[in-house]
Structure 1
Amino acid sequence: MYSKVLLPVSGESRGERSRKALAKAMAVSSGEIILLHVTEPISQVVGGEARTELEREESAQGLTLLCPIIEILENAGAAFHTRVEAGTIAETIVRIADEEKADLIVMYTDGRDGLSDMLLGSITERVLRNTGVDLLAVRS
């Protein structure tokens, strides 16, 4: 069992993939589940109040996307908290896993998605290569 499980969730949180990964995370968690949604970084050109407003909107949208997963965790009485962070997906997952001192990352994967995955590797592969945290890849 793992005491801190990080579960990155994409924009399809209502979908089967997120629910399947959540079920695996709940099955192996003896403590807290950290839900993470990563948003696109905001251009450095945008500053001041406009930047603050865009960050607020991105965060609110990320929390809205997490709502179906939050509802499942609340109904199960599971311990959890949420984070919405801007950045590149793989690097942000690795950073948050370190910051939160997670002992497991649960990610869903559907295999290669195209030329960029062939050249750069999938997000799951990039996380695996750059973290010392155990990673459970759930095939979707």
Structure 2
Amino acid sequence: MYKTILVPLDGSPRAETILPHVISLAAHYNARVVLLQVVEPIVAMVTPYDMVPYVDKEAADRVLQEVKGYLTAKEGELRGQGIEAKAVVESGPVVSTILDVAEREQADLIAMASHGRTGLARVFYGSVAAGILQRADRPLLLIRAQD
């Protein structure tokens, strides 16, 4: 049923609460797991004279290396359990990048944890899960992460 499962992570323990579910599904269906973390560009400065944002390349490279290390460790954990895994790091807007990677990797399922924000917190912070839910053209496994 599932051949490829895309798992967006953000480096937080809350996001990782989806992993036991993914491990179970991947083992049952002998599915490949694609671990994804999307890094949004880090804008260092916008001056009143120049409305073009300045991106600090060194800071961006440092963040990318940290993310790659994190995902490589998670990839190793899955492989250690006999699951075929691949780590992918992308830059860009989170929701559209997740959907683009799902298409590119031919994911049969997107599996992720929601932080479960409601009310004003959801309005101010937005919801990646809600964005994926509204725009995804494939099955979505969504769990609510608990504190």
For the criterion TM > 0.5, the same-fold answer is yes
- Answer yes or no: is the 8 Å Cα contact 2:111–2:142 preserved in 1: yes
**What RMSD over aligned residues (CA atoms) do the two structures have, in Å?**
2.5
The aligned counterpart of 1:82 is 87
Q: 1:42 to 1:120 in 2, by over 3 A?
A: closer
- Answer yes or no: is the 8 Å Cα contact 2:33–2:84 preserved in 1: yes
- Answer yes or no: is the 8 Å Cα contact 1:32–1:78 preserved in 2: yes
| Distance in structure 2 (CA, Å) of the matches to 1:70 and 1:138 | 21
| Distance in structure 2 (CA, Å) of the matches to 1:28 and 1:70 | 16
Q: 1:57 to 1:126 in 2, by over 3 A?
A: same
Q: Decide which of 9, 18, 22 is 1:21's aligned counterpart.
A: 18
Superposed displacement of residue 135, structure 1: 0.3
Count of residues in Structure 1 that have an aligned counterpart in Structure 2: 134
Query: Any runs of at least 4 consecutive aligned residues in structure 1 with deviations exceeding 6 A, and if so which?
Result: none
Name the one with the larger helix percent: 1
Give 1:1-140 correspondences, 5 Å limit.
1-12=1-12, 15=13, 17-18=15-16, 20-29=17-26, 30-43=30-43, 45=53, 51=57, 56-112=61-117, 115=120, 117-118=122-123, 121-140=126-145
1:87-136: CA deviation from partner (whole Å, max 9, x where unpaired): 12111111111111101000001311563623785210101111101100
Read off the aligned partner of 2:36 and give its amino acid letter.
L
Unaligned 5+ segments in structure 1 are none
| Identity value in percent | 28
| Distance in structure 2 (CA, Å) of the matches to 1:111 and 1:31 | 27
Q: Higher mean Cα deviation, 124-133 or 106-115? A: 106-115
Q: 1:87 to 1:133 in 2, by over 3 A?
A: same
1:17-61: CA deviation from partner (whole Å, max 9, x where unpaired): 40x3111112222221000011112557558xx74x555433311
Unaligned 5+ segments in structure 2 are 44-51
Q: Higher mean Cα deviation, 55-64 or 129-138? A: 55-64
- Answer yes or no: is the 8 Å Cα contact 1:42–1:86 preserved in 2: no
Superposed displacement of residue 4, structure 1: 0.3
Which one has a bigger Cα radius of gyration? 2
